[in-house]
Amino acid sequence: MAKPLILVSNDDGITAPGIRTLVKVAMKVGDVVIVAPDSPQSGMGHAITIGNTLRLDRSIAFEDLDVEAYECSGTPADCVKLAKHHVLKNRKADLVVSGINHGSNSSISVLYSGTMSAAIEAAIEGMPSIGFSLCDYGHEADFSHTEEFVEKIILQALEHKIPDNTALNVNLPKKSEERIKGIKICRQAHAKWQEEFDERLDPRNRKYYWMTGSFVNFDKGEDTDEWALVNNYISIVPCQFDMTAHHAIGMMNEGWQL
């Protein structure tokens, strides 16, 4: 029986430690093709390149693993588009996995995340997809405790399938002395980044701004991704790209005089 074909991408760049961990896990399950940005693309969201050229080259970053790998000058969404329409051509990926991101993409961060945008782009293109993120922003983050769980989730997705037009947002707790308690399927918490803009002066005495701030969770529910992560569970949030506020349609039809 042919192995499943798994496409791997990310937003931290093709040389990031997180994608190497994900590739090694994916190789246990299937045949792997990598198309990832040639430089960090964190926070790019679902941006695509329309005003500049896109370059796609074979990468030596995974030469030691003897796996087909390409680096792209564009965004994570560009990588998935090029993978489907150019690299894979007549091959169809059985699963697209993105990550493992250095840092959480829970709650509202899913909107800003390049990692999740690669996964959502795959779902738009009709390919089952998962975005993986570790709640550790350090470049030297330890991913070793996540491998068995990442493999389990990939196997479950291949066996039981992901619903159409859906991408899974998986967030993994940072390594600690306590073993991860398990995996919970959650909803996205109602939370946001409370930004502040620090006004500074450059060496030429010109003003510039540096965004700072803190994450604020307004959600007290125990069925959210934020609750799961705080309590040392892995969270899985099924995400859709239909952003229609369906509950608002009836209200507007009844109340607005149009």
Binding site, annotated residues: 11-12, 42, 101
Please measure the distance between the N-terminal and C-terminal CA atoms of the chain and give it in whole angstroms: 59
From 36, 29, 180, 221, select the one nearest 114 (Cα to Cα).
36
Which residues sit in the known binding site for a divalent metal cation? Answer: 11-12, 42, 101
Q: What does the block give as tokens for 70?
A: 């390409």
3-state secondary structure of 207: strand
CA distance 142 to 139: 9
Structure-token pair, residue 252? 């507007």
Token pair in block for residue 66: 């003897």
Q: What angle do CA 190, 180, 95 make, to 5 degrees?
A: 75
- Amino acid of residue 103: G
Which tokens sit at 58? 């074979």
